[in-house]
Amino acid sequence: MKITKEEVEYVAHLARLDFSEEEKVKFTSQLNDILMYMDKLNEADTAGIEPMSHAIALQNAFREDTVKDSLSHELSLSNAPEARGPFFRVPKVIE
């Protein structure tokens, strides 16, 4: 096994996802298959090869430091489940 049910529960918690027992078992098995498949990639010899973070060979994509129009705050808030005045309103969180 590449991954345990406890690890699936942990990852689900980090993603704030709530699964039933049944789902946990199913996802453990599915993730296990995926990770087994990934193992195949480990068979390739990568000695002396720099890890890459992108598939395209592009670097230094920049924009100049210029200000353009933002959205109006009405538009910014238009998708918000709850708003109050110019603010988004969320359940109180203090950490």
Which DSSP category does 83 fall into?
A: E
Query: Which is closer to other proteins, CB of 40 or CB of 54?
Result: 54
Element (H, E) at 23: helix 21-41
User: CB of 17: closest distance to other proteins in angstroms?
Assistant: 11
Look at the block and give the residue holding tokens 């709530």.
Answer: 18
- Alpha-carbon distance of 89 to 71, in angstroms, equals 18
What residues between 39 and 78 interact with other proteins by CB under 8 A? 53-54, 56, 58-68, 70-73, 76-77
Residues 3 and 29: beta-carbon distance below 8 Å:
no
Interface with other proteins (CB under 8 A), residue total 34
| One-letter amino acid for residue 59 of the chain | Q
For other proteins, give the closer residue by CB, 22 or 86: 86
Query: Where does this chain bind other proteins (CB under 8 A)?
Result: 14, 16, 53-54, 56, 58-68, 70-73, 76-77, 84-95
